[in-house]
């Protein structure tokens, strides 16, 4: 570390930035764990290797990716929504839109997407980080139990604990 009278070195600044980054990653991981309820592996058929269990596991992994990479998920979602709107404005797209309007597949797909994405993503193309994701992160960060939660998260990541319930 630099002397108390000397200005901080570039290395001290980089070290501080790395520590801040690691704490933010831990908080993000904690947020993801808090937002995703635990899976009953037996009840979901995950333990027995059934097709339903495999589907649940796949969907949970997808949901985890959406929470772990919110900027990428938001960018992809915004781009897909914009492309879908452009396609719907064409004659062929309008025909598909009309044909799919009452489809059970579309309705079920929308319901599944809402559950998977936890309604965190926004359609607005200029959105970089979904505001609902930031609100959830700030809610966890302002929790009076944050120190205990971070301690438990650190313990879980080093194998010294059982994770965050």
Query: Which pLDDT value is given to residue 88?
Result: 95
pTM, full prediction: 0.55
**Span 50-84, pLDDT tens digits:** 788 788 888 888 888 887 888 888 888 889 999 99
Could you tell me what percentage of the chain is helix, strand and coil, using 3-state DSSP and rounding each to the nearest 5? 65, 0, 35
**Can you give the residue ranges of every domain in the chain?**
10-157
Reduced to 3 states, what is the DSSP secondary structure of residue 90? coil
- CB neighbours of residue 67 within 10 Å: 22
- pLDDT greater at residue 100 or residue 119: 100
Higher pLDDT, residue 28 or 111: 111
Query: HEC string of 11-25?
Result: HHHHHHHHHHHHHHH
Question: Rounded mean pLDDT of 16-39?
Answer: 73
Q: Which pLDDT band, with edges at 50, 70 and 90, does 159 fall under?
A: low
């Amino acid at each position: 570390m630099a002397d108390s009278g000397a200005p901080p070195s570039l290395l001290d600044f980089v070290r501080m930035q790395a520590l801040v980054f690691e704490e933010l990653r831990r908080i993000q991981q904690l947020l993801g764990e808090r937002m995703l309820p635990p899976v009953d592996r037996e009840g979901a058929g995950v333990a027995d290797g059934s097709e339903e269990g495999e589907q649940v596991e796949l969907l949970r992994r997808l949901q985890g990716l959406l929470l772990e990479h919110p900027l990428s998920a938001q960018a992809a979602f915004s781009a897909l929504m914009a492309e879908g709107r452009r396609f719907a404005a064409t004659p062929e797209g309008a025909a598909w839109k009309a044909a799919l309007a009452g489809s059970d597949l579309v309705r079920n797909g929308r319901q599944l997407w809402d559950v998977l994405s936890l309604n965190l993503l926004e359609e607005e193309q200029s959105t970089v980080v979904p505001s609902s994701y930031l609100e959830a992160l700030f809610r966890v960060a302002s929790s009076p139990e944050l120190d205990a939660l971070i301690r438990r998260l650190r313990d879980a990541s080093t194998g010294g604990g059982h994770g965050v319930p």
